[in-house]
């Protein structure tokens, strides 16, 4: 890769792919395999990873008219971690070791995985044809048959998150407070204050890692699961996603909510979560009504409506994007055995994507002074190269 210099661009000339039309000749079917649960892990109160279910939560009915402002002043807000996939890589490492210990081949298993990514990134990719306002950037690395995806979060964007104004911070808190009202550490809770499940601490998370296939592409996806309904069975069949939204008062509110359902749908669909509980709230943070949706039913709620969305368009776009990206990253030959190029994928609303190879200067921005090869932690890079 090119060496850094004052006048050097952080990326090379880009390849571009336009979003598909959303109104003519939509696809009639796209193959997607039901996600299968591979393993789980928890983040504890110190946001340390442990391969237990200690952070698993159980769904409980929230109280009527719950105050979503409760506990706001005591909120422990976790700082943005730049979207790193380190925890997901630790899960991969553990599964490889488990397979090797059982007499199977952990290396071959990983070689059969085409993409490794957090659920949020795949959601953004699939829904991008319908995105009108928000752009985002993705870093991609390719090694031994596997593409690794990590959202690029600049230092400036991270600073904006830390200094988020109250008008944005408080509505974000409402979602976390709703989760506290709706969850318990026990299937049979004894909440002390009218259903309040404990002060919000988003250091604590229960994460699931699943395997699925989009077309012929095998994808390993990790993501947080809010809770389970009833007893945890070791499958995704009783997982529950929790969401909040403003109370619907008329057609405009209804249309706005139906557009939000696109991301609600894919966030749950990708992890195999079958149920979404939405808490409708007032602007001042009072829970007004509760409604449960089956994930599989959401596309039918918006079908043929003005401004509706079609999940098949998203899935078909996903296959086209992945094929396009793979054709680019697999055609590049590293300049050294310890050099894995880093690609930047930029998603521009209502236009499409551009893919470019980062220069050394651009890679150094991704590394951010940490012990990494590109965005992969050095320990993981060493592991996959020495065991390959």
pLDDT given at position 193: 46
Structure confidence by residue, pLDDT tens digits, 244-296 = 999 999 999 999 999 999 999 999 999 999 999 999 999 999 999 999 999 99
Confidence band, pLDDT 50/70/90 cuts, at residue 215: very high
Structure confidence by residue, pLDDT tens digits, 37-79 = 999 999 998 889 999 999 999 999 999 999 999 999 988 777 6
Mean pLDDT, residues 3-9:
41
Mean pLDDT, residues 92-101:
95
Structure tokens at 165: 């104004």
Query: Above 70 in pLDDT, residue 316?
Result: yes
Query: Above 70 in pLDDT, residue 11?
Result: no
pLDDT given at position 333: 67
Structure confidence by residue, pLDDT tens digits, 135-169 = 999 999 999 999 999 999 888 887 888 788 888 88
pLDDT given at position 2: 36
Q: How far is CA 343 from the centre of its chain?
A: 19
Question: CB–CB of 22/310 below 8 Å?
Answer: yes
pLDDT given at position 189: 64
What's the CA gap between 388 and 153, in Å, rounded? 30
Q: How many CA atoms lie within 13 A of 270 on its CB side?
A: 31
> Where exactly are the structural domains of the chain?
1-30+118-152+310-388
What's the CA gap between 117 and 153, in Å, rounded? 15
Confidence band, pLDDT 50/70/90 cuts, at residue 375: very high
pLDDT given at position 12: 62
The two most distant CA atoms of the chain are separated, in Å, by 63
pLDDT given at position 5: 38
DSSP labels, 331-357: TPPPSSTT----EEEEEETTTEEEEEE
Query: Above 80 in pLDDT, residue 317?
Result: yes
Query: Above 90 in pLDDT, residue 8?
Result: no
**Torsion-angle region of 98 (φ positive above 0: left; ψ -120 to 50: alpha; else: beta):** alpha
b/e map of 243-274 (b: 16 or more CB within 10 Å)?
A: bbbbebeeeeeeeebbeebbbbbbbbbbbbbb
Give backbone dihedrals phi and psi of 334, rounded to 5 degrees, phi first.
-60, 150
Structure tokens at 118: 């957090």
Q: Is the pTM of this model over 0.75?
A: yes
Mean of pLDDT over the chain: 90
Q: How far is CA 326 from the centre of its chain?
A: 20
Judge residue 131's burial from the number of C-beta atoms within 10 Å of its C-beta, 0-12 exposed, 13-18 middle, 19 or more buried.
middle
Instruction: Tell me the C-alpha to C-alpha distance, in Å, between residue 87 and each of 150, 221, 323.
Output: 12, 12, 27
Percent of the chain clearing pLDDT 90 (strictly above): 76
């Amino acid at each position: 890769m090119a060496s850094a210099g004052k006048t050097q661009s952080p990326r090379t000339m880009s390849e571009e792919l336009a979003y598909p039309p959303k109104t003519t000749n939509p696809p009639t079917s796209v193959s997607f395999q039901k996600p299968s649960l591979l393993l789980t892990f928890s983040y504890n109160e110190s946001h340390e990873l442990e391969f237990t279910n200690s952070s698993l939560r159980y769904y409980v009915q929230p109280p009527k008219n719950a105050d979503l402002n409760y506990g706001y002043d005591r909120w422990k807000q976790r700082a943005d971690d730049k979207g790193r996939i380190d925890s997901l890589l630790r899960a991969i490492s553990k599964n490889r070791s488990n397979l090797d210990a059982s007499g199977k081949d952990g290396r071959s298993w990983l070689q059969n995985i085409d993409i490794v990514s957090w659920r949020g990134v795949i959601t953004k990719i699939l829904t991008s044809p319908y995105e009108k306002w928000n752009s985002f950037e993705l870093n991609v690395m390719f090694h031994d048959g596997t593409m690794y995806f990590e959202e690029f979060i600049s230092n400036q964007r991270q600073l904006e998150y830390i200094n988020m104004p109250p008008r944005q911070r408080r509505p974000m808190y409402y979602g976390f407070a709703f989760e506290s009202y709706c969850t318990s550490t026990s299937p049979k809770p004894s909440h002390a204050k009218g259903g309040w499940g404990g002060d919000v601490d988003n250091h604590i998370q229960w994460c699931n890692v699943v395997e699925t296939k989009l077309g012929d592409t095998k994808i390993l996806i990790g993501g947080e699961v809010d809770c389970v309904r009833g007893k945890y069975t070791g499958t995704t069949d009783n997982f529950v996603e929790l969401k909040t939204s403003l109370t619907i008062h008329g057609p405009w509110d209804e249309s706005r909510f139906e557009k939000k359902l696109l991301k609600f749908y894919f966030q749950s669909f990708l992890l195999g979560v079958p149920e979404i509980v939405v808490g409708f709230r007032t602007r001042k943070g009072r829970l007004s009504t509760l409604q449960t949706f089956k994930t599989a039913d959401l596309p039918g709620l918006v079908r043929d409506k003005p401004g509706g969305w079609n999940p098949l368009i998203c899935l078909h776009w996903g296959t086209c994007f992945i094929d396009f990206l793979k054709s680019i990253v697999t055609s590049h030959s590293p300049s050294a055995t310890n050099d894995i190029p880093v690609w930047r994928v930029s998603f521009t609303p209502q236009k499409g994507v551009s893919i470019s190879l980062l220069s050394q200067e651009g890679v150094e921005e991704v590394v951010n002074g940490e012990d990494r090869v590109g965005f992969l932690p050095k320990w993981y890079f060493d592991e996959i190269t020495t065991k390959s």
